[in-house]
Amino acid sequence: MSIVSPSTPSARSSASGPSSAPRLERRSGGMSNKPSILTTGILLIGAAYCLFPVLWVVIASTKSSSELFSTFTLAPSVHLFENIGDLFAYRDGLFLRWGWNTVLYAVGGAAVSTFVSAAAGYGLAKYDFRGKQLFFSAILAGVLLPAVILAIPQYLLFAKIGLTDTYWAVFLPSILSPYGIYLSRIYAGAAVPTEMIEAARTDGAGDVRIFWQFGIPMMLPGLVTIFLFQFVGIWNNYMLPYIMLGDDGLFPITVGLSTLLNQGSSQPAMYTTVITGSLVAILPLIALFFVLQRYWQVDLAAGATKG
């Protein structure tokens, strides 16, 4: 994960033979590898800046609402479990419901979106057909299209068919991901050999089965990346659910927390709930990012270089 240095023949031989010592010395003398305080220091300052708000929310979640504004902001207290209990007890577990809704929108939406993108990208990469250029150009335009132009007409059209204020209002628009289709075309073009499809056809397999049995597994690492992008996109999208939903039982966590924050000015105790809710909401996400971090690395590189 650190430096990319493909083991060159000279490096390999220098590591094995007894004559390696002088060579190694020359290498380290040529390209300075000695630690630099400045370089490391700047990186650590950046890391501290990025971690600080997270550290703060961890500490603030341990405070009672009276301590929040009265004790030093970085002084921890002992009320964490009390606060978590209050959070989950708020209006009969509304927060848990928001969490479940978020999973439904973000995980469910991203999964369906990834599948739709995979099929479309595979079709674009592996087949020639009338209208292919037109379809792909439309998708590319969609990549650069600001979402703002969509939110209001989507709401108006959904209102006409009675879909606003339902799960579908947030779920359905999240399925389309022009960028996912674009990436998927790149992955399919690079990972699925046309010869393989032809060979499988000769063996009597249908095109759909070939896609399902060979295409998807070959594209899988790329599909994980598409899934992650779409997942973050839905999880981050505040405007769509904010516009579409009125019933707070359908809210995702983000919209729910922002409504709680709105009540904070009249009920200061709500601030503690918002803070604890923020912590509980981001912890699983941060854990997920650490577990899946190699997909942000390897496949971004793969997607870029295999283009």
Partner 1 sequence: MTNPTVTVPAAPVPPGRRADRRRGSRTLHSGFYPYLFIAPAAVCFLSFMAIPIVYAIWVSFRTVKVSGLGLGSGSRTEVWAGLANYSAVLSDPEFLASARRALAYGAVLVPVMLGLALLFALLLDSRRARARTFSRLAIFLPYAVPAVISSVLWGFLYLRGTSPVHWLAAKAQVVLPDALSPDLVLFAIANIGIWGGTGFNMIVLYTPLKAIPSELYEAATLDGASEFQIATRIKIPMVLPSLIMTLVFSVIATLQVFAEPMTLRPMTNGISSTWSPLMKIYRDAFVQNDIYTASAGSIIVALATFVISFGFLRLVRGQAFAQESR
Query: Is residue 282 within a helix (H) or strand (E), and if so which, with residue range?
Result: helix 269-291
Can residue 133 be called a binding residue for partner 1 (CB under 8 A)? no
Taking the least distance from each CB to partner 1, the nearer of 96 and 112 is: 112
Among 127, 168, 199, 209, binds partner 1 (CB under 8 A): 127
Among 82, 86, 165, 207, binds partner 1 (CB under 8 A): 207
Q: Which residues contact 86 (CB under 8 A, 6 or more apart)?
A: 272, 273, 276
Among 135, 165, 166, 221, binds partner 1 (CB under 8 A): 135
Residue tagged 């295409």 (tokens): 215
31-70 footprint of partner 1 as x/- string (CB under 8 A): xxxxxx--xx-xxx-xxxxxxxxx-xx--x-------xx-
Taking the least distance from each CB to partner 1, the nearer of 89 and 287 is: 287
| CB of 223 vs partner 1, minimal distance in Å | 14
Can residue 190 be called a binding residue for partner 1 (CB under 8 A)? yes
Among 123, 170, 218, 273, binds partner 1 (CB under 8 A): 123
91-110 footprint of partner 1 as x/- string (CB under 8 A): --------------------
CA 44 → CA 13, 54, 283, 289, distances in Å? 36, 16, 22, 20
**Long-range Cβ contacts of 190-197 (<8 Å, 24+ apart):** 190/302, 190/306, 191/218, 191/219, 191/222, 191/306, 192/122, 192/125, 192/126, 192/218, 192/219, 194/126, 197/126
Taking the least distance from each CB to partner 1, the nearer of 87 and 119 is: 119
Whether 252 contacts 98, CB under 8 Å? yes
